[in-house]
Amino acid sequence: MRKNRVHSFTPNPLLKVKLPAGRSRFAMFVMSCAFLALVARAFWLQVWSNDFLKREGEVRFMRTLEMPATRGGITDRNGAILAKSLPARAIFANPSDAQLEPAQVSELSKLLGMPERDLTKRLASDGKTFVYLKRQVDAPEAEKIAALKLPGIHQLPEYKRHYPDGSTIAHVVGFTNVEDAGQEGMELVHQRGLAGHTGARRVMLDRMGNIIEDVGTLREPQDGSDLQLSIDTRIQYHVFDAVRDAVNHHRATAGAAVVLDAKTGEVLALANLPTYDPNERGALSGAQLRNRVMTDTFEPGSTFKPFAISAALEAGIVKPSSMVNCSGKLTIGSASVGDAHGHGTLSVEEVLQKSSNVGTAKIALQLPPQRMWELYNSLGFGQAPEVGFPGAVAGRVRPWKTWKPIEQATMSYGHGISVSLLQLARAYTVFARDGEIIPLTFLKSEQPAVGQRVMKAETARAVRRMLELAAGPGGTAPKAQIPGFSVAGKTGTAHKIEGGRYVARYVSSFVGFAPASNPRVIIAVMIDEPSAGEHYGGTVAAPIFARIASDTMRTLRVTPDIALRAETGSGSKSGPSSGSGAGSLPGSGPGSSPSAGTALAGKTARAPARSRGNA
Amino acid sequence: MTRIDIVITILLVLCSLLLVESQHKNRRAYIELERAQQAEAKLQVQWNQLQLEQSRLTKTSLIAEAAARDLKMQGVVPARTLYLSEPLGAKP
């Protein structure tokens, strides 16, 4: 029964044919080999050599994204923004794709703010695949352009630097180029710290383009650090305004002023005219870019006299009360030194007060040249100030061994020597700080500066007293006076040199400090080539000093140190009191006064250091 | 197949589904995070713009001009200032 059932499954007689066993084994072998080949191939692709496929896979869903970093901002000492970067767009075109209708070109040119003709020309750049149409386009305009969806017009992200204070502080802050790299001023000096470094990360995208996973950060983005300057924009405004008004009034070619904090060595304000707007960098000229306070040197003239006199006092050669015969002319070799008005015999104090060239030269000639040179050197003349500013110049002080007597004499009253306004202002810290000179800084500093002693405190105080007299009613600069505060300072009027000869063009200057009793700020002013009739430091520069000092004292809330005069207010036992009718400050206007300044005097000497000038 | 095998198989399938679900949720959450971060960056830009605008509008020159022109104000000078002396023994 069971046997019959088996037979029923093989009804076909062909199946009964016995095949050779080798054939089925062969087929089995071939199929096994094929499977093995597949397994080996799979192993090869997925385990052994999978880099290519992995890479191809990643290309389809992995992306490397840039992580933006912004350039650090610059603020003033109170946190007011002086420079900040905001995202902007660079608009570029692929000319071969950008086939625009005339109406589209017209609309685009309006949004870009460029003439249609220029735009058409750029779009017709044959053979190019990339042409910048405009860079640093503000985000709102860029969005409007993007909304037009023009073919072949694309955008790239970038940053644009904004300077809200514009031309007022341009020479300190400087500016960046379109690549966001510092080109001038603090932007250039602190490029490394201000510059941000973009980062990068790998992310996984879904088919909609959303980021679904952060695979890893390749590079951390680093924003640039913010920079806080020592500048006080409130004082800067007053200084800039005063210099601009004076340059206009005196029809001068240029003007500059700097305000230093006598306690910390911080530069509170620095203004230059002519200036420029760092937001509009299209057409800048060299004259506009020059930071005259630091990069221009000039013969300081009488503002230099206090140094020679202090050296003589320090050496014990003279005392403030010593008498010097200042009458006539002082003849040294073939050259002579003179004053515009004969002074007769003056005390050393009066020599500085009246600004006598003869007196100063006679005092200086009693000093060994080396001693004078050492003082000039210790005050920083002839060396570039270490303020980390591009282009800060050293000025010129020749080695003492080459000095001839006439040169020593002329140098004592500021001729045959060249200095920058910043050097001069810094050197006056010795008188403001009882004989110490301090380093200057453009960065905010809360700490009092550590000074270096250059002369004895009593010497510095004696010269300070003389400078107070010089800025007083009997001195060369009564217009430097301000109500409520004692001031001290010295005027300077120097001929300019052209082609090795002195010409009838002048640099009027004033360097002083206030309050004289406890100096808080040092102010140096320089007006280049005033040509409206007046050129003496006492009539041109001193009123600017007075205006700046008055505004600075108010801004810094310094308490007045002297009682007000009767006509400016009613006095009280407790000091200055309320009054009225004192709207204008004495000396705040650039008027003329015959008492101010001694005239230029002396013949031009044939010696290399010609003796001229005084005020 | 024993009963324990069936239970383990069901658990395995369940865990796999939960894994897929949590992965999905994770991705959704990450998309949200990305959007929030983009919004934060936009707000940061706006904040910077506003700070800049504030600086522009509070320039000393603008304030001085407006004070003198519109409000007819004058600068403070010591002559018009009443300085009060601190009484003796007063503590700051």
> Band of the pLDDT at A349, cuts 50, 70, 90?
confident
When pLDDT is cut at 50, 70 and 90, the band that residue A512 belongs to is: very high
- Which among B55, B78, B80 is the nearest to A164, CB-wise? B55
What mean pLDDT do residues A499-524 have?
Answer: 89
Report the alpha-carbon distance of residue A486 to residue A468 in Å, rounded: 8
CA distance A110 to A131: 18
- Nearest by CB to residue B83, choosing from A213, A214, A574, is A574
> Residue A576 has what pLDDT?
34
Q: What is the per-residue pLDDT across A372-395, written as a single tens digit (0 to 9) for each? A: 888 899 888 888 888 777 778 888
Interface contact A582, partner B, CB < 8 A: yes
pLDDT on residue A597:
31
pLDDT at A32 over 90: yes
Mean pLDDT of A58-85: 87
Q: Does A393 touch chain B (CB under 8 A)?
A: no
- Res A115: pLDDT: 85
CA distance A534 to A500: 24
Q: Does the beta carbon of A168 lie under 8 angstroms from any beta carbon of chain B?
A: yes
- pLDDT score at B90: 60
Query: Which is catalytic among the residues A85, A230, A302, A508?
Result: A302
Q: What mean pLDDT comes out for the span A126-153?
A: 83
**Which of the residue ranges A102-106, A460-464, A538-542 would you say has the lowest mean pLDDT?**
A102-106
Residues 466-505 in A contacting B (C-alpha not used; CB under 8 Å): 483-485
Average pLDDT in the A170-191 region? 88
Cα angle at B88 between B86 and B89, to 5 degrees? 110
Q: What is the predicted pLDDT for the residue at A42?
A: 92
Q: At what angle do helices A405-412 and A305-314 cross, to 10 degrees?
A: 110
Interface contact B58, partner A, CB < 8 A? yes
pLDDT above 60 for A572: no
Interface test with chain B among A159, A564, A580, A588, by most B beta carbons within 10 Å: A564
* B-chain residues near A212 (CB < 8 A): 27, 30-31
Yes or no, beta carbons of A576 and B80 under 8 Å apart: no
Q: Does A87 touch chain B (CB under 8 A)?
A: yes
Q: Which residue has the tokens 């200055």?
A: A576
**Residues ≥6 apart with Cβ < 8 Å to B77:** A483, A484, A550, A554, A582, A583, A585
pLDDT at A587: 32
**Which CA distances in Å does A574 have to A111, A578, A580, B86?**
65, 11, 18, 9
Nearest CA in chain B to A209: B31
CB contact under 8 A, B27 and A213: yes
Catalytic site residue A302? Answer: yes
Looking at every residue in chain A, the average pLDDT score rounds to 82
Cβ neighbors of A139 (< 8 A, separation 6 or more) are A86, A87, A88, A89, B45
The confidence band for A613, taking pLDDT boundaries of 50, 70 and 90, is: very low
User: CA torsion sign, A99 to A104 to A110 to A115?
Assistant: positive
* A264-273 average pLDDT score: 92
Tens-digit pLDDT profile for residues A228-243: 999 999 999 999 999 9
- The DSSP symbol for A367 reads S
Our CA-based measurement puts residue B83 at a distance from the nearest CA of chain A, in whole angstroms, of: 6
Mean pLDDT across A466-477: 86
pLDDT score, position A608: 32
Q: How far is A160 from chain B (nearest CA, A)?
A: 12
Residue A427 — pLDDT band, cuts 50, 70, 90?
very high
| Confidence grade of residue A526 (pLDDT, cut at 50, 70, 90) | very high
pLDDT of residue A10: 63
Instruction: Calculate what percentage of chain A has a pLDDT beyond 70.
Output: 90
How much is the pLDDT for A464?
A: 92
Q: Which carries the bigger pLDDT value, residue A151 or residue A604? A: A151
Q: Which residues of A touch B48 (CB under 8 A)?
A: 84, 86
Q: Closest chain B residue to A204 measured between Cα atoms?
A: B27
Distance from A525 to chain B by nearest Cα, in Å? 21
Distance (Å) from the alpha carbon of B26 to chain A's nearest alpha carbon: 8
Supply the pLDDT for residue A258.
95
Mean pLDDT of B47-56: 91
- In 3D, which of A369, A186, A206 has the Cα closest to residue A270? A186
Q: What is the pLDDT, as a whole number, of residue A598?
A: 30
Which of A139-148, A560-569, A589-598, B65-74 is the least confident region?
Answer: A589-598
| Pairwise CB contact (< 8 Å): A569 & B80 | yes
Least CB–CB distance from A80: residue in B55, B64, B79? B55
A400-406 contacts: CB < 8 A, separation 24 or more?
A400/A369, A400/A370, A400/A372, A400/A373, A401/A369, A403/A369, A403/A373, A404/A333, A404/A607, A404/A609, A405/A332, A405/A333, A405/A365, A406/A332, A406/A333, A406/A335, A406/A605, A406/A607, A406/A609, A406/A611
CA–CA dist A14, A77 (Å, integer)? 107
CB atoms within 10 A of CB A282: 5
The answer to whether the pTM exceeds 0.90 is no
Q: What is the pLDDT of residue B83?
A: 75
pLDDT band at residue A604 under the 50/70/90 scheme: very low
Q: Tell me the shortest Cα–Cα distance from B70 to chain A, in angstroms.
A: 18
pLDDT confidence band for B91 (50 / 70 / 90)? low
pLDDT of A528 strictly over 50: yes
